[in-house]
Structures are given as C-alpha cells and as structure tokens.
C-alpha cells in the first residue's frame, strides 16, 4: 500500500512507493529509534556506582545533622526560658510581683552610690500594711495575700518608671525614689494615700486596714542604705504613734545586727498589742480610723536581733 501525502487543501493524496525519493523513506514497524546522546548523560554514565552510594550516605548524614541541630536549638531555647524564669524568681517576689528583698537592697546600694557620686538627692519610703494580721485571722490568708497584691499594685502604679519598688518581707514594702528630696517623698506618699480608697474597694474587705509609712532622704537622714532604711523605719513607727529608741547602735553594727533593724521580740509583741487594741477600738466605734494615738515609747536593748 502506498503512502499518503497531505495537500494544502487538507486532502490526502496516495503516493506510489518510492515516489518521495530516497530522502523520504518511511519508518518501518519494529525499526529501532536512533539514540540521543548528550554531554551530561555521558558524564553521569562515567561516574562510578561507589560515588553515588557515597553521595546518598552524605545526604542521609546531612539530614541527621540538621535534625540534631534543630533538637539542640529547641533544648537550648527551653533552657534559656528556664534560666530566665529562675532569674526572675530570684529578683521578684512571687506574691506581689515587686522586687525581692535581695534585689531591692542591691538596687538601693547602686542608687545611693550614684547619688553620692553626682551629689544628687535620693529618698526612701518605708510602707507597712496595718491590720494585715487581723485580715488573716478573720478572713484567712488568701484574703491577706489578696491585700498584699493590691498594695503592691498600688505602690507600682503610684511610682515612676525609674523608681524602685520592692517587698522586704511580711507586710513591709520599700520604694526608692531617685532624684527626690523630702518634698518629693511627701508628694509620693500623698499619691499613695489618695489612691487608698480605690485599693480598699478592690480588696473588698470589711475589716479595717491601712498603710503607714516613713521616709528618709540622702544625705540628711543617712549616707548608707542601712542608715536610710533604719531612719525610714523609725519614722514609720512614729507615724503609728510609737517612738522607737535604739541605744547602742554602734554595738549593733559591730555585732552585725544593725542590718536587721535591731528590734527586740518584746518590742514586736508590744507593737502588735497596741495595733490589736486600736483595731478593736475602731471596730467597736470607739475610735475612728484617723484618730490620733498618743506616742508610746518602746526601748530596745542594744544589739538585740529582730
């Protein structure tokens, strides 16, 4: 059978075998196709099989190394987070979120050194939560914790960004006010007391509680962190109507007890007795929360530890 030749009109015209000439001979069924050679194929064909095995092994090893690096990165980040959390716990009071005592004392020492170097003012304000024991006794320690958290939030909200706020233990907090003299410390205390009604509403307790405070300013009231804390502490008790005498302060320093504010246990018990009597009187209506109490002098023996 002859071949068919397509015409421009789209019709097929039969052609006799051999009419197309030697250059147009058809491809017979079963004939082998000519092979296509390329330089890349020739190069790959010359690569020994051992090289391919080595490349495959290197690919597997690379995948393992990537996996190990990823796992090490995850572990490193987890350990970094744990370390950051541990450092935060070391400098932060877990209950109030304020600085811990150690962190506060370090910051205070740095601020005192800066104030001395540049001859700048610095004030320290000591705060004490009056009535916390009554809250714990009547409402439970959960209510007392809620009260302390609210006090911490109050002090933080009333302070500036560069102020230092910390809890030194129990119901006592300290605020360090760089660049503030006595007038600045008084203004800060006024801000705190102005916000007390809102804090009391947030706590929502019927039992009366209050904040007492005392302030000290560098260098008039002390030139070291301990002297400033002691002076502010004494004024806090004066704010409560209690005079604290501490003869033999030099002996306290020699014995290493001056840094613990040198209160004797009997003085603590006397202070608690006075506070309990005041709270009872307030609840019974015999005295208002702002009623002044006649100062009472408590003498602490020299060198007595708290």
Is residue 162 in a domain?
Answer: yes
Model confidence band, residue 239 (pLDDT cutoffs 50, 70, 90)? confident
> Within this chain, do residues 262 and 144 fall inside the same structural domain, yes or no?
no
Beta pairing, strands 296-299 & 242-245: parallel
> Within this chain, do residues 175 and 293 fall inside the same structural domain, yes or no?
no
> Within this chain, do residues 231 and 287 fall inside the same structural domain, yes or no?
no
**Rounded mean pLDDT, 207-228:** 94
Is residue 36 in a domain?
Answer: no
Domain hosting residue 293, numbered range? 241-249+257-306
Percent of the chain with pLDDT strictly greater than 70: 60
Judged against a pLDDT cut of 80, whether residue 202 lies above it is answered with: yes
> Within this chain, do residues 225 and 145 fall inside the same structural domain, yes or no?
yes
> Within this chain, do residues 206 and 103 fall inside the same structural domain, yes or no?
yes
Is residue 227 in a domain?
Answer: yes
> Within this chain, do residues 102 and 217 fall inside the same structural domain, yes or no?
yes
Is residue 82 in a domain?
Answer: no
Model confidence band, residue 270 (pLDDT cutoffs 50, 70, 90)? low
Peptide bond into 151 cis (omega under 30): no
> Within this chain, do residues 170 and 199 fall inside the same structural domain, yes or no?
yes
Query: Do 213 and 192 touch, CB atoms closer than 8 A?
Result: yes
Is residue 26 in a domain?
Answer: no
Lowest mean pLDDT segment, chosen from 10-24, 54-68, 77-91, 268-282: 10-24
- For residue 212, the domain's CATH number is 3.30.70.270
CA 276/CA 299 separation, integer angstroms: 20
Mean of pLDDT over the chain: 75
**Rounded mean pLDDT, 174-180:** 96
Judged against a pLDDT cut of 70, whether residue 166 lies above it is answered with: yes
> Within this chain, do residues 231 and 162 fall inside the same structural domain, yes or no?
yes
Is residue 189 in a domain?
Answer: yes
CB-CB neighbours of 200 under 10 Å:
15
pLDDT in tens, 97-125: 999 999 999 999 999 999 999 999 999 99
How many domains, the chain?
Answer: 2
Is residue 4 in a domain?
Answer: no
């Amino acid at each position: 059978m002859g071949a068919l030749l397509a015409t421009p009109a789209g019709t097929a015209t039969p052609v006799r075998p051999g009419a197309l000439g030697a250059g147009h001979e058809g491809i017979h069924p079963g004939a082998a196709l000519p092979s296509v050679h390329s330089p890349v194929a020739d190069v790959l064909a010359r690569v020994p099989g051992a090289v391919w095995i080595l490349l495959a092994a290197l690919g597997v090893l690379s995948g393992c190394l990537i996996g190990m690096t990823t796992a090490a990165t995850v572990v490193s980040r987890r350990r970094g987070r744990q370390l950051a959390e541990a450092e935060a716990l070391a400098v932060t009071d877990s209950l109030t979120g304020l600085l811990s005592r150690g962190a506060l004392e370090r910051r205070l020492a740095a601020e005192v050194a800066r104030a001395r170097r540049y001859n700048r003012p610095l004030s320290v304000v000591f705060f004490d939560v009056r009535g916390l024991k009554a809250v714990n006794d009547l409402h439970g320690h959960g209510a007392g914790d809620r009260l302390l958290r609210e006090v911490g939030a109050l002090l933080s909200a009333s302070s500036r960004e560069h102020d230092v706020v910390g809890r030194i233990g129990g119901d006592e907090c300290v605020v360090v006010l760089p660049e503030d003299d006595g007038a600045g410390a008084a203004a800060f205390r006024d801000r705190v007391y102005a916000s007390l009604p809102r804090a009391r509403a947030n706590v929502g307790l019927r039992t009366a509680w209050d904040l007492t405070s005392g302030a000290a300013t560098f260098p008039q009231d002390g030139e070291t962190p301990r002297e400033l804390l002691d002076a502010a502490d004494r004024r806090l008790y004066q704010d409560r109507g209690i005079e604290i005498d501490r003869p033999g302060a030099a002996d306290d320093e020699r014995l290493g007890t001056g840094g613990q504010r040198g209160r004797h246990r009997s003085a603590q018990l006397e202070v608690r007795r006075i506070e309990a009597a005041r709270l009872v009187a307030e609840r019974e209506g015999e005295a208002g929360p702002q009623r002044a109490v006649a100062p009472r002098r408590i003498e602490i023996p020299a060198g007595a530890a708290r």
